Amino acid sequence: MLLYLQSISQLSWMIINLREGIKFHQRLGKQSMNPRFGPECKLVQRIVEDVLLKLPKYISNEHFYGHLIGIGKKVEEIELSLSIGSTDVHIVGIWGMGGIGKTTLASVVYQRLSYSQFKGCCFIWNVREEYARHGANHLRKKLLSELLNDEAILKMDSPFVASPCILDRLRHTKVLIVLDDVDSSNQLEALVEGYYRLAPGSRIIVTTRNMQVLKKVTDRFYKVELLNHAESLELFRLHAFGKNSPVIDDEMVLEVTRYANGNPLALKVLGSFLHSKSKEEWKIALNKLKIIPNREIQDVLKISYEGLDDKEIQSIFLDIACLFDQSFTRDHVESILKASDPFVKIAISVLIDRSLIENRVSPIGNKLWMHDLIRQMGRTIVCDEHKEPGNRSRLWDPKDICHVLERDTGTAMVEGISLNMCRMNRDVKVHRAAFSMMYNLRIFKIFVCHNMNENKWYICDCKDKNKFKLYLPQGLDSYLSDKLNYFQWDLYPLRSLPSHVSLENLVELILRGSRLQRLWNHGVQSLLVLRKIDLSYSKMLNEIPDMSLAPNLESINFEGCTSLVKVLSSVENLHRLTYLNLNSCSKLRDLKEISRNTWYWDIVNFINNLPLYSSQAHIYQTFPVNLTDLHLDWTAIEEVPPSIWHLSSLVRLDLNYCSGLESISTSICKLISLESLRLCGCVKLFKFPEILEPMEHLTYLELGHSPIQELPESIKNLVSLRRLCIFSCKNIEFLPTSLCNLRKLEHINIQRCSNLKKLPPLPNASLSLLLDHNERLKSLPELPSSCFCLSAICCTSLETIPNWKAPLLHHLSSNHIRGQINFYGCEKLDQNTRNIILAGRGIFQILSGLKFGRMCDDFEFCYPGDEIPKWFSYQSGSTSMNIRLPPYWNNDNFLGLAFCVVIYQHKIIDHPLFLGIGCKLNFKTIPDSLLCEHDSFMRLGGDDDSSDHVVMWYVEELTLQNSGLSWRSNCCTMACLHLSLECGYCHDVDEDVNVNYNDDTYIDGNEYGEIKKFGVWFVYKEDIERFDVDTKSKNKRRFDECCETSGSEGSHGIENDVLHSKKLKVMSLI
């Protein structure tokens, strides 16, 4: 580190001397009468400025980054935001949570640019503290004196950037200003007011935790992200063990990195704290951290909280930190807290701007994410309120909550309770008056860990799995806080809520898996702000309460209420109701027509009690016209009647496994909003209806496991279809020729259609094609070049693929990439298809996958054959190989490693076992010490004994980098590879879904097959360019030679002008 600082210092001194030399020559030039001297001075100045501009590019990043981890890419992105070539004046913000490295990033950028790009530079550290301690005037003097290199400014009373005398000088001086840890707009305005009048090309960098500071002055800001797992490990090891840290991931090391969760400050502080300590001391320290957080880390994080001037915003922060986990969306939290604070939306925006929470996009909405260290900081603030838990504002620790409920120590201080029953370590008997003194209780949550399947709760399963329970042997007093906004008690043990309870401020009522028979024993409750009620799996519930005074109710869930007999007519008058779930209400008898705004009605198990089995039934008389999702799986319906078209808002129609369904009306094409139609397992459905007019929105059609004999040519009217699934339709022999007109089709699943003889021309689209186990299929049509996923496992009659051109790699985008090409068991394929088309396609798939890195994790490539393509330069006839590596082999052009194996499977492997190839890859240094280790596993696609097969896969450079400590910056001199056959266990999920397997369960697979030979290919960016040249070439022979197979070592290895043309040499074949 000292050497690093010396290098920077020497560089800075050299630049200063160069600049002084320019000024000296300029002075001479003005005094000289020699007409040739002036131009020479300008020439020298231009040369020196050009050198200064380019100098940082030729200085090693090690000089700037030192021991900083994960900073290179971030610095590049910040410098890109600075637009150094532009003559405009820019402010660029660096924004993020405390301890994430904002100051470090700003200082590196400053060191890289200050003396080479700007004439005046100033870095003001810790503006927030300096401003509070010394005032704005002190900081202005410091800023301007350094920018103009004029100490006289320090003697001025109140210098300003915008003052005429100073501004005139700054207009001619290109400056770089860094203001670190700015906390308010006032601080920024006081220091750089009128900044836009600075000299052209000037730049101001501002680091802050408060986004509002930046929004007023710039739209250029860089959000600093957390370190990834590999970077976190490297940084922690550096501080905990020193430079030569061990590679093995001890569980305690991983525990610390999980605790720090990518925060650099936490990793450095904890690493330094644990340095040189024994394993026993580590265990003690880690256990203590869970209870008492590190004070140094907490003090840094707490600055953001203390910067919240509004007490209400602080309260909302503490609510989120203590009572809401990461599963809550922003809308959900706002709807709950709005009842007690109407300005909660603004408050949450402030918390996001202050880097205390994040708004993360998810499929179910924008989730509020809070870093674990910030959550712990908030909880520590609450714990510091009082030693007695009953006198704290919020309770979340099971031990504290059980103490309060059992001993009745709760007070008016308690505003929120959140208890995860799965974390209880004993049974608890709740005191009958436990809530009587909690007058200010707003949020009450007692919940169990849950399993989710298609967003449905199975709380009923938790009754038996939950080891410890809450008991109310004496019941509850009638009092519950009338300030309750959120009331959740899973497995609620009483038959009703306490009498005379007032729920007038309640937003959500959740009592899943309860023993309720009815909600309350008295009349109608005033529930004016209630939006959601969930009593799912309350199996003893036999009566729904009167909801006539709940006009804002939007969601009702009675799923699994098997004793429920009737639905009161008042439900029909809930005009804002959008979700009604009566799934598995098997005793329900009096379902009435509900024709309001109900948009989702999930009815599966009780639907056979409705008159849908009659062809005379009018479906629009039974269901609301605004219905969007209709699920009729496993019902006795015989026909989808013509009146179906009245459901004009229907988006999804599920008729899976309707064993009596015989026909579907052609009027189905009039469902103008329909996007998904599922008809899987309808064993009496022999004919699919004609599509008489275009269906603009249908994207998914599933007809698996049905006796359908053919699809009509009018299927071309499914103009928006993206996924077509007709797997296991054994009566289908041909598909309609109009299939090629479906230009948006992305996925076709025609697996196990045992009588399928021929495929029609396919649409020229980015296509995924699944054809497994079609034993009568002999040939494929010309495949579109954009078909990136094709599985034809055990198509035993398949003989040829006429053509399959590869597109140019530089034209591809990541959206086009798929991984799987599998022709396992297609032993009749001709040699041209194997050695030219498929071998070449394998090279293309590897290069396209490595071009887009980790976006292609599902890569799989297999075909019958016994030769390794020449692109795999380093080959072995055994299962092991040692390769000596030249210097700089892993430069910036390195993309990853590709592997090719010839395998013979000589024994049938039975389900649930599957066979795969395990690869252990070790990189070693000169003293033969292990630098990093990587294990990969390539699953084979077939399960039958067969002939030789060629298998290819790759490992990205980033994956290798994540396997060890700074492997790129170390001297790797040896790569050692060992391959083995292994068996794993798989679990079938669905006919249309790939199989999942447990990565931790592998056994020896040598009894099922053998590895005959394998090859390795070190892939570089130059290989992509070379492949594109070969693809474009009109000389087909040259392209064929590039892709043809040979058992000898190829000529292409690591060839790079920057490195050398010397190939990697195999040291020994073990």
Find out whether 701 and 725 touch, Cβ atoms under 8 Å: yes
Q: What is the pLDDT of residue 990?
A: 40
Tell me: do 45 and 2 sit in the same domain.
yes
**446-485 pLDDT per residue, tens:** 998 654 333 344 444 455 455 678 888 888 876 889 999 9
Residues 212, 234 within the same domain: no
- pLDDT 10s digits, 652-682: 888 888 888 888 888 889 899 999 999 999 9
Note whether 189 and 151 are same-domain residues: yes
- 406 token code pair: 């059992």
pLDDT at 945: 58
Distance (Å, whole) CA 99 – CA 472: 46
Label the pairing between strands 930-939 and 913-924. Answer: antiparallel
Task: Give 553's contacts (C-beta < 8 A, 6+ positions apart).
Answer: 527, 530, 531, 532, 533, 547, 574, 576, 577
Of the residues 223, 248, 269, the one at which a domain ends: 223
Residue 1001: domain span: 844-1068
Under the banding of pLDDT at 50, 70 and 90, the label for residue 845 is confident
Q: What are the tens digits of pLDDT across the range 535-588?
A: 999 999 988 877 888 889 888 888 888 888 776 566 667 777 777 777 677 676
Question: What pLDDT shows up at residue 849?
Answer: 79
Q: Give the CA distances from residue 249 to residues 172, 246, 957, 962, in Å, rounded to whole numbers and listed in that order.
A: 55, 8, 20, 12
* Average pLDDT over all residues of the chain: 79
- At residue 610, the pLDDT reads 43
Q: Tell me, what's the pLDDT at 607?
A: 43
Residue 191 · residue 175 · CB < 8 Å: no
Under the banding of pLDDT at 50, 70 and 90, the label for residue 617 is: very low
**Whether residue 243 sits in one domain with residue 201:** no
pLDDT at res. 625: 53
617 within domain boundaries: no
Tokens of 731: 């009566």
Tokens of 316: 């909302």
pLDDT > 90? residue 702? yes
Element (H, E) at 360: strand 358-362
Number of domains into which the chain is organized: 5
Contact partners, residue 288, CB within 8 Å, separation at least 6: none
Structure confidence at residue 50 as a pLDDT band (50, 70, 90) = low
pLDDT at 909: 66
Main-chain phi, psi angles of 304, to 5 degrees: -65, -40
Structure confidence by residue, pLDDT tens digits, 957-1000: 666 665 554 455 456 778 888 888 877 665 443 434 343 434 44
Based on the fold, state whether residues 959 and 1039 are members of the same structural domain.
Answer: yes
Please give the C-alpha separations between residue 289 and each of 279, 392, 804, in angstroms, as whole numbers: 15, 21, 59
| Choice among 246-260, 384-398, 597-611, 615-629 with the minimum mean pLDDT | 597-611
Task: Please report the pLDDT score of residue 43 as a whole number.
Answer: 64
Q: With a cut of 80, say whether residue 949 has pLDDT above it.
A: yes
Quick count: other Cβ atoms within 10 Å of Cβ 43? 11
When pLDDT is cut at 50, 70 and 90, the band that residue 259 belongs to is very high
pLDDT in tens, 57-116: 445 455 455 568 888 889 989 999 999 888 999 999 999 999 999 999 999 999 988 877
Res 580: pLDDT? 76
Q: Tell me: pLDDT of 880 over 50.
A: yes
DSSP, res 719 = T
Instruction: Report residue 816's pLDDT band, with 50, 70 and 90 as the boundaries.
Output: low
Backbone angles phi, psi at 1027, to 5 degrees: -65, -40
192, 223, 254 - which closes a domain: 223
- Domain annotation covers residue 635: no
Give the CATH number of the domain where residue 135 resides: 3.40.50.300
CATH number of the domain encompassing residue 380: 1.10.10.10
* Rg of the chain taking only CA atoms, in angstroms: 35
- % of the chain residues with pLDDT over 70: 73
Q: What percent of the chain has pLDDT over 90?
A: 34
For residue 658, tell me if it sits in a domain.
Answer: no
Q: pTM of the entire structure?
A: 0.68
pLDDT, tens digit, for every residue of 124-182? 999 999 999 999 888 988 888 888 888 777 777 666 655 677 778 888 889 999 999 99
Question: Residue 1015: what pLDDT?
Answer: 93
Residue 525 has phi, psi (to 5 degrees) of -90, 140
- How much is the average pLDDT of 265-270? 93
How does pLDDT run across 1001-1055, given as a tens digit for each residue? 556 767 778 899 999 999 988 888 888 777 666 445 444 555 554 443 333 334 3
Write down the pLDDT at residue 347. Answer: 94
Confidence (pLDDT) at 437: 93
Could you tell me if 984 and 905 lie in one domain?
A: yes
Among the listed residues 681, 789, 768, 760, the one whose alpha carbon sits nearest the alpha carbon of residue 722: 768
Backbone φ and ψ of 606, nearest 5°: -100, 0
Residue 197 has pLDDT above 50, yes or no: yes
| pLDDT band at residue 739 using 50, 70 and 90 as cut-offs | very high
Local confidence band at 290 (pLDDT 50, 70, 90 cut-offs): confident
Q: How confident is the model at residue 32 (pLDDT cuts 50, 70, 90)?
A: very low
Question: Do the Cβ atoms of 333 and 376 come closer than 8 Å?
Answer: no
Average pLDDT for 389-394: 97
Same domain, 199 and 287: no
Tokens of residue 74, six digits? 């971030």
- Asked whether residue 368 falls in the same domain as residue 263, the answer is no
Q: Is it true that the peptide bond before 912 is cis, omega within 30 degrees of 0?
A: yes
Is residue 184 a part of any domain in this protein? yes
Please give the angle made by the CA atoms of 430, 433 and 439, to the nearest 5 degrees. 115
Pairing between β-strand 175-179 and β-strand 203-208 as defined by DSSP bridges: parallel
Q: Concatenated DSSP letters for 530-566?
A: --EEE-TT-TT---PPP-TT-TT--EEE-TT-TT---
The phi and psi torsions of 392 (rounded to 5 degrees) equal -100, 160
pLDDT at 1047: 42
Question: At 931, phi and psi to the nearest 5?
Answer: -95, -50
H helix runs in 518-660, sequence order: 619-622
Is 22 inside any structural domain? yes
Claim to verify: residue 1054 and residue 942 sit in the same structural domain: yes
1027 found inside a domain: yes
Domain boundary among 176, 208, 223: 223
Q: Are residues 338 and 199 in the same domain?
A: no
Measured distance CA(404)–CA(410) in Å, rounded: 6
Measure CA 197 to chain center.
43
Neighbours of 397 (CB within 10 A): 18
Q: Which of 820, 991, 994, 983 is nearest to 911 (CA)?
A: 983
271 and 138 share a domain? no
> Is 687 part of a structural domain of the chain?
no
Give the range among 256-270, 595-609, 844-858 with minimum mean pLDDT. 595-609
pLDDT at 304: 92
Residue that the structure tokens 């005191």 belong to: 431
- pLDDT tens digits along 295-317: 999 999 999 999 998 999 999 99
Q: Which candidate, 831, 763, 766, places its Cα nearest to that of 801?
A: 831
Domain-embedded: residue 539 = no
Rounded to whole angstroms, the Cα distance separating 71 from 905 reads 47
Tell how strand 767-770 and strand 747-749 pair up. Answer: parallel
Question: What is the C-alpha to C-alpha distance for residues 773 and 680, in angstroms, rounded to an integer?
Answer: 19
- Please tell me whether residues 850 and 982 are part of one structural domain: yes
